[in-house]
Chain A
């Protein structure tokens, strides 16, 4: 349990998707103009991460890894399909975002109106594929760990985009040099926030 909390805190703050690995920067810069839309996108990212990362973990461990196919027959012990991982991961992600979109549309039209436009965007959000690829690299042992990691990363990403959106709303009224306005200042702000987030590095629970 302690291990899981630790993992959660680390994936939210220290190994934050945006500030430590720059994942999902495109939508991060493009959508963070207002707090309201950022919250929408943030929630959508959390949902999709929590669904796809554990799913891809199952694919990785019961289909792709060397020796993963032994549950079918011990003849497959030496089969290593790892080279297919990229294509299967992205296919899962694309299919899942489509599915989530359809389910939300059917059962909660109001949520669909709030999130709907972001979901198709998410299939090509690097944070989602990045979550799965880090999962593969870090060799998590249990599905609980993977789910906690996915949730933590998603919340970390949402936290980042909401806080940067709040700052951007404020600085609309600031006197920024014209060439730096918009994207330029957002990059620098993100950099400064990343430095602030580095102060979490020493923490341990």
Chain B
């Protein structure tokens, strides 16, 4: 029927044609895809400042509210000349602690009150989980949060991206009275509602919940020096 030579040439041509077609599509659509990712990131950052943006107005709202975006190092010093928006946390965490560049987004509300939004990234049960934590300008009270995940179990771990879970964090504190960093823990079996350092876990998703606790603790601890440097006496008026 067909000779080996024919089969060989046939498959080579096929592979080349297919490769060209795919690469062309991929290259033409890449900018659009990256733009989508950028817009989603803006939406998520705004969410941590309790501003709900959809994909059409995210860019506008972002420019309106996020007034500043810079990076700090582990000592809490600002790093100059860097585009903090494009920092990839994953890569930073692999670096030496001293060289890490940690992004901070500053949101200025309607009454020119300021919120500081810190990106966080960690590991859930099945894969990465990430999010943003919005802090009031006392650098202690949580103003808003956003979490998302890639492939947690639907109905269980996946619930971390619902408002129901995220709203639990509002008003919690990350430092205790003595000024020691305690973070906010996700506690299985129900947290005491008066406890300002813990929230309820989602039942049946221990590993994802632990992942969230660990993520908040490890990421925020990198910023401790920055918080201490910046801390002012103003008290955040919690809107809840």
Binding site for B on A (CB under 8 A): 6, 10, 14-15, 20, 83-84, 87, 134, 137-139, 201-202, 204
Q: Are B125 and A83 interface neighbours, CB within 8 A?
A: no
Q: What number of B residues sit within 8 Å (CB to CB) of A?
A: 16
Q: Tell me the smallest distance from the CB of A148 to a CB of chain B, in Å.
A: 13
Q: Which of B41-49, B95-103, B150-158 contacts A (4 or more CB under 8 A)?
A: B150-158
- Which single member of B26, B127, B156 contacts A201 (CB below 8 Å)? B156
Contact of B22 among A6, A83, A134, A138 (CB under 8 A): A83
Interface membership of B79, Cβ < 8 A: no
Is the CB of B207 closer than 8 A to any CB of chain A?
yes
Question: Smallest CB–CB gap between B32 and chain A, Å?
Answer: 13
Query: Are A137 and B151 in contact, with the CB atoms below 8 A?
Result: yes
B126 touches A138 (CB 8 A): yes
Q: Are A84 and B22 in contact (CB under 8 A)?
A: yes
CA distance A134 to B126 in the complex (A): 9
Cα separation A148 to B59 with both chains bound (whole Å)? 43
Which residue of chain A has its CB nearest to the CB of B18? A87
- Complex-state Cα separation, A87 to B18, whole angstroms: 10
Interface of B, helix, strand, loop or mixed by DSSP: loop
**B interface list, Cβ under 8 A from A:** 18, 22-23, 26, 125-128, 150-151, 153, 156, 203-204, 206-207
Complex-state Cα separation, A83 to B29, whole angstroms: 11
Residue picked from A10, A20, A137, A138, most chain B C-beta under 10 Å: A138
B229 to chain A: closest CB distance in Å? 33
A137 and B150 in contact, given A201-B156, A201-B204, A204-B206 (Cβ under 8 angstroms) = yes
Chain A residues within 8 Å of B22, by CB: 83-84, 87
Contact between B127 and A14, CB atoms less than 8 A apart: no
In the assembled complex, the Cα of A137 lies from the Cα of B124 at a distance in Å of: 13
Q: Given A83-B22, A138-B150, A201-B156, A10–B125 Cβ distance below 8 Å?
A: yes
Chain A residues with Cβ below 8 Å from B127 are 137-139
Cα of A10 to Cα of B126 in the assembled complex, Å: 10
